[in-house]
């Protein structure tokens, strides 16, 4: 059973490894798709190459892939749960009693959606952006059909989270995140993590064809 989960995760990494690596959302040449973040120091056990640490989407809107990526790099943590995860983990790694994290996990104004950034945590916005610029890269696959995109996002996250061999490094920042799912599964995701919906052989074939098509864009 676990062998099958490991093979599935390995195959996902292998298929996506053919895609171009980006550091800037403006480099992406298409408007619809899924994106996959990689983080310095986090390695896939399958090939000792960078492992996927976050899967993202623009699930409710069309033509918003680049804009969604920019949400993560913008200086506003309320645009992105990814930014809230990163910033909260940075603060907690330095002090679990930081006032911007109180009164508890996910309840302080930094980690709470629409919480107002105060003077004490305002510099954190710049730190999060710098961290993303310096320590993260991402790949994108074009998927124009919204229903298919949303289905594959759910199944890819479910498959990655169930892999028995892909583990976060000892020093992974995510160990300080407020989300138990982030800490336990080694992904900067909470939605769909641990989901029983995983990639089938047919899903893999679809993903591979989508990657093949993506590689022809601009050629």
Question: SS3 for the chain, per residue?
Answer: CHHHHHHHHHHHHHHHCCCCCECCHHHCCCCCEEEEEEEEEEECCCCCCEEEEEEECCCCCCCCHHHHHHHHHCCCHHHCHHHHHHHHHHHHHHCCCCHHHCCCCCCCCCCCCCCCCCCCCHHHHHHHHHHHHHHEEEEEEECCCHHHHHHHHHHHHHHHHCCCCCCCCCCCHHHHCCCHHHHHHCCCCCCCCCCCCCCCHHHHHHHHHHHHHHHCCCC
Question: What pLDDT, on a 0 to 100 scale, did the predictor assign at position 2?
Answer: 67
Sign of CA dihedral 79, 75, 127, 122: negative
Mean pLDDT taken over the chain: 96
- Segment 44-55 mean pLDDT: 94
- Asked whether the beta carbons of 87 and 110 are under 8 A apart, the reply is yes
- The pLDDT tens digits for 64-74 are 999 999 999 99
Mean pLDDT of 189-207: 96
Is the pLDDT reported for residue 96 higher than 90?
no
> For position 1, what pLDDT does the model report?
43
pLDDT on residue 173 = 98
The answer to whether the CB of 77 falls within 8 A of the CB of 178 is no
Q: Are 166 and 45 in contact (CB under 8 A)?
A: yes
Q: How confident is the model at residue 38 (pLDDT cuts 50, 70, 90)?
A: very high
pLDDT digits (tens, 9 = 90+) for 124-166: 999 999 999 999 999 999 999 999 999 999 999 999 999 999 9
User: How many CA within 13 A on the CB side of residue 119?
Assistant: 0
Assign 17 a pLDDT band (cuts: 50, 70, 90): very high
Between helix 2-16 and helix 201-215 the angle, nearest 10°, is 10
Residue 4 has pLDDT above 50, yes or no: yes
Quick check: 172 pLDDT over 80? yes
At residue 219, does pLDDT exceed 70? Answer: no
Q: Is the pLDDT of residue 3 over 80?
A: no
- What is the rounded CA–CA span in Å between residue 59 and residue 10? 25
């Amino acid at each position: 059973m676990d062998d099958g989960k490991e093979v599935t995760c390995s195959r996902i990494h292998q298929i996506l490894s053919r895609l171009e690596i980006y550091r800037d959302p403006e480099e992406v040449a298409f408007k619809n798709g899924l994106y996959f973040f990689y983080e310095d120091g986090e390695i896939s056990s399958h090939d000792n190459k960078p492992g996927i640490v976050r899967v993202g989407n623009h699930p409710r809107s069309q033509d918003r892939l680049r804009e969604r990526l920019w949400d993560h790099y913008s200086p506003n943590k309320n645009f992105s749960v990814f930014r809230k995860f990163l910033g909260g983990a940075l603060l907690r790694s330095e002090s679990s009693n930081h006032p911007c994290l109180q009164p508890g996990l996910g309840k302080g104004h930094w980690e709470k959606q629409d919480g107002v950034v105060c003077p004490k945590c305002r510099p954190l916005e710049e730190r999060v952006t710098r961290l993303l610029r310096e320590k993260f890269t991402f790949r994108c696959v074009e998927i124009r059909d919204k229903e298919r995109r949303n289905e594959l996002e759910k199944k890819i996250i479910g498959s990655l989270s169930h892999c028995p061999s892909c583990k976060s490094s000892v020093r992974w920042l995510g160990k300080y995140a407020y989300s138990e799912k982030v800490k336990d599964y080694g992904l900067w995701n909470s939605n769909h993590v641990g989901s029983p919906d995983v990639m089938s052989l047919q899903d893999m074939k679809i993903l591979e064809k989508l990657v093949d098509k993506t590689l022809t864009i601009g050629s």
